[in-house]
A and B are shown apart, each in its own frame.
Chain A
Amino acid sequence: MSDAQSAYYVPEGSALPFVGTAGLFILFAGFGAFLNGVSAGSMAMLLGFAILLVMIFGWFGAVIRESEAGLYNDKVDRTYRWSMAWFIFSEVAFFAAFFGTLYYVRSFSVPWLGGLGSEALTGQLLHPTFEAVWPTNGPGQLGGHFEAMGAWGLPALNTVILLSSGATVTWAHWGLLKNNRTQFTLGLALTVILGALFIGFQATEYAHGFSELNLTLESGIYGSTFYMLTGFHGLHVTIGAIMLAVIFFRALKGHFTPDNHFAFEAVAWYWHFVDVVWLGLFIFVYWL
């Protein structure tokens, strides 16, 4: 039997994907029921989420055990690299939908509502007082008067924080490659702390928006795009920070070697991805 091929690790059967699907189904069904006004829906959501967690722990646990047991050859490693890259590509496409929305409303729908081009009469007849300037909550002024989020306070600080965390995670990687465990774990710890700091500041900013700027999801298209883009980004930072924390604890347990540490790299890729998304947000949502 030729080694390269026969050694490709094909796992035993596993009930985890089925369990995870059931959890996801219960979570979504509960959420749907909740949105329809069934209060028990929230209980189902919790149950579904708990089942999902069981799947996540079980599945990642199995992969970690297999990896530490040396069952993965170079080919399996390449599989994981390719699949993580394509997963991140799918996330890029997901964010592209929301950035595309922002572009569309700012370049087309809001100017058209203001009477641009062939829409002049529509604007005159339907909402003569509406001025198409960004930020806006539309001709109906939904959500009442609001103020836009400034760029140069917390958001600028958060930009510095997230960019620094990109540097610290790279520094941790250099440490691992040199087999300097202290640098490795310290770099990871710093990255997790910076990530947590970012999330904390983002929460503070939201509180500021809600309580002082009257800026909510209901503040027309500005509030919609602002919270949807920054919210999904914040969710991704949270997930990334949790994954980094897992890598940190694994590092403390002695996992990862200078030439076998793809889990770390995958999380680092993901972290750089949320970093780049943030730069897009800072420029197009906060600044311009």
Chain B
Amino acid sequence: MNTASNHDAHGPKSGIMRWITTTNHKDIGNMYLIVALAMFFVGGAMAMVIRAELFQPGLQLVNPHFFNQMTTLHALIMVFGAVMPAFVGFANWQVPLMIGAPDMALPRLNNWSFWLLPFAAVMLVSTLFMEGGAPAAGWTMYPPLVQQTGDAFPFLIFTVHLLGMSSILGAINIIVTIVNMRAPGMTLLKMPMFVWTWLITAFLLIAVMPVFAGAVTMLLTDQYFGTSFFNTAGGGDPVLFQHLFWFFGHPEVYIMILPSFGVISQVIPTFARKPLFGYASMVYATAAIAFLSFIVWAHHMFTVGMPISGQLYFMYATVLIAVPTGVKVFNWLATMWRGSMTFETPMLFALGVVVMFTFGGFTGVMMGTAPTDVQYHDSYFIVAHFHYTLVSGAVFSVFCGAYYWLPKWTGYMYDEKLGKLHFWLTAISFNVLFFPQHFLGLAGMPRRIPDYALQFADWNMVSSIGGFAFGLAQLIFLWVVIKAVRGGEPASDEVWEGADGLEWTLSSPPPYHSFNEAPKVS
């Protein structure tokens, strides 16, 4: 398919201006992915500081205030700087390719959504050098603790505003692209699962990012303009912030996990060489999870002293999420059942997600149960839980998607041996790192502390060793990506034997403008 004709005027500019001015979904996707990878290492370095300090009891390397800055920034950077941008990068690359569109629906807006991100990242990281240090009250920013932040306080708020704008504009673009730019014949229930999950994720983003922006704006006015939203003396309530935050925060965790589901729902059928089992039920399950995500937020706050009726409601609603999630897990298993499976790196990561994310889901049920949550709350158990969902769920899916699509994007096969090495080192070190944290949490070790009682020493040391190994293993990934970009065995158009979908009909790498001529979907 010759797609370069009569669009030469739209070819890329040269030099730095190409990247500043680009309206091309592939360029912008690349930039998102590069920023995400860079921030993954920045946030990862902070995690290394945390694990180094926790290697032994006592204070060795950093002071407690700096330790708290590390936990806060690590979370903010990983959530908003690494995982979310990585999935937006995937969406930029893959959604137009998968639905047969020439580009995103709003290419200039796409550029804006991207550029807001590095500026916000610079603002956030710059707080490390301010009077009073970076924000240290946790990524949840609960008042009144967060109001003890130094000069960094307004910049924390404005970072959230910039990131929120970036997410909302990006989400609008993705929804409109999916709704309006599909090739003729691609009805909604023929869309690839990755496209479906992003459609629903984008809806979640538009619904909750503004609430988050509103909540932090109230923090700002409480701090500088004398309002009393979170101040009981004036009739407000600090718990109100927690409600607002988690009304955003719970859908936010699905914003990170639904695209993960989408990625592995593409990958598992490819390497099982069978179509996705229960496609329609996958779509409905995704929508059900998204709906439930709006009505379960207070399960993050079982210990704030809410009425028993509230606890019961939020407990039942929360545990209900296990049903659609279970539908998904069983569908993935059924897809693999009697398939002709092979285990290339993307498939290994996908299997890692199915096994370990599901484990994280189980601990989620434990904590969604109000009476038992009282023991786990704010302990290392919750730290272990959300790392099982967000690392072996979301981050593994990012690796899965990156290995799966790298040959399509670069035109070269990545180094399979190194990829497999990366997977095994990551998967093993991940469990060494986080599994013992369940024990620590059950034994009573609180989260977000730089020092701990002596009985926690052994498992912390094990966890830290796993942490350092995990960090080192990620350098392999960096090397694999660089290697694949620079060259290697040329990839075929289809890349994977069992791959199905429009993106595999284009050359590898695809032309600068994907589908100038709309493909027909039967």
Residue numbers of A with Cβ under 8 A of B are 1-2, 4-6, 8, 10-18, 20-22, 24-25, 28-29, 31-32, 35-36, 59, 75, 78-79, 82-83, 86-87, 89-91, 93-94, 96-98, 100-101, 104-105, 108-110, 112-113, 117-118, 136-140, 142-143, 216-218, 220-225, 227-228
Contacts and interface: CB of A to CB of B under 8 A. Distances in A.
A140 B236 CA distance: 11
B162 A28 contact: yes
Interface stretch (B173-181, B349-357, B454-462): B173-181
Contact of B115 (A21, A140, A217): A21
B158 A217 contact: no
Interface of B: 9-10, 13, 17-18, 20-23, 102-103, 105-109, 111-112, 115-116, 119, 122-123, 131, 151, 153-155, 158, 161-162, 165, 168, 171-173, 175-176, 179-181, 183-184, 206-211, 213-215, 218, 221, 224-229, 231-237, 239-240, 243-244, 247, 307, 513, 515-518
A33 to B, nearest CB: 8
* Majority SS at the chain A contact face: helix
B116 A21 contact: yes
A36 B154 contact: yes
A79 B176 contact: yes
A4 B232 CA distance: 59
Contact of A90 (B155, B168, B183): B168
Contact of A83 (B10, B102, B105, B243): B105
Contacts of B22: 13
A109 B116 contact: no
A105 B235 contact: yes
A109 B228 CA distance: 12
B214 A224 contact: no
A31 B176 contact: no
A217 B131 CA distance: 28
15 contacts: A6-B517, A8-B103, A10-B107, A12-B9, A13-B23, A16-B108, A21-B112, A21-B116, A32-B155, A83-B173, A90-B207, A97-B244, A104-B243, A142-B233, A143-B226
The 3 nearest A-B residue pairs measured at CB? A97-B214, A140-B233, A138-B235
Given A15-B17, A137-B234, A22 B516 contact: no
A78 B177 CA distance: 10
Contacts of B154: 31-32, 35-36
Central interface residue in A1, A14, A216, A221, by most chain B CB within 10 Å:
A221
Given A82-B179, A224-B236, A94 B221 contact: no
Contacts of B239: 109
Given A90-B168, A217-B221, A109 B206 contact: no
A5 B307 contact: no
A72 to B, nearest CB: 12
B516 A1 contact: yes
Contacts of A14: 21, 23, 108, 111
A217 B225 contact: yes
Contact of B244 (A5, A101, A216): A101
B484 to A, nearest CB: 27
A5 to B, nearest CB: 4
Given A90-B168, A139-B232, A221-B229, 20 more contacts: A6-B517, A8-B102, A15-B21, A28-B155, A32-B151, A32-B155, A82-B176, A83-B109, A93-B208, A93-B209, A93-B210, A104-B237, A140-B233, A142-B226, A143-B226, A218-B228, A223-B228, A225-B229, A228-B218, A228-B227
Contact of A28 (B18, B161, B211, B244): B161
B18 A13 contact: yes
Nearest to A220: B234
A18 B20 contact: yes
Contact of B214 (A5, A82, A94): A94
Contacts of B221: 217, 224, 228
B102 A101 contact: no
B210 A109 contact: no
Contacts of B218: 101, 224, 228
A18 B20 CA distance: 6
Nearest to A97: B214
Contact of A138 (B108, B109, B236): B236
Nearest to A41: B154
Contacts of B106: 79, 83
Central interface residue in A18, A20, A31, by most chain B CB within 10 Å:
A18
B243 A13 contact: no
Central interface residue in B18, B23, B181, B229, by most chain A CB within 10 Å:
B229
Given A83-B105, A98-B214, A228-B227, A18 B115 contact: yes
Contacts of A35: 153-154, 224
Contacts of A4: 184, 518
Contacts of A10: 10, 23, 102-103, 107, 513
Contacts of A12: 9-10, 23
B103 A13 contact: no
A15 B16 CA distance: 11
Given A10-B107, A93-B210, A100-B244, A31 B234 contact: no
Contact of B180 (A79, A108, A224): A79
A135 to B, nearest CB: 9
A91 B164 CA distance: 12
Contacts of A100: 211, 243-244, 247
Central interface residue in A8, A13, A142, A143, by most chain B CB within 10 Å:
A13
Contacts of A137: 228, 234-235
Nearest to B241: A101
A5 B102 contact: yes
Central interface residue in A20, A22, A79, by most chain B CB within 10 Å:
A79
Contacts of B181: 8, 75, 79
Contacts of B108: 11, 14, 16-17, 59
A83 B111 contact: no
Contacts of B162: 24-25, 28
A105 B233 contact: no
Given A12-B23, A18-B20, A217-B227, A97 B215 contact: yes
B155 A113 contact: no
A234 to B, nearest CB: 15
B23 A11 contact: yes
Contacts of A17: 108-109, 111-112, 115
Contacts of A112: 237
Given A29-B123, A35-B154, A94 B517 contact: no
A37 to B, nearest CB: 9
Contacts of A25: 119, 122-123, 162
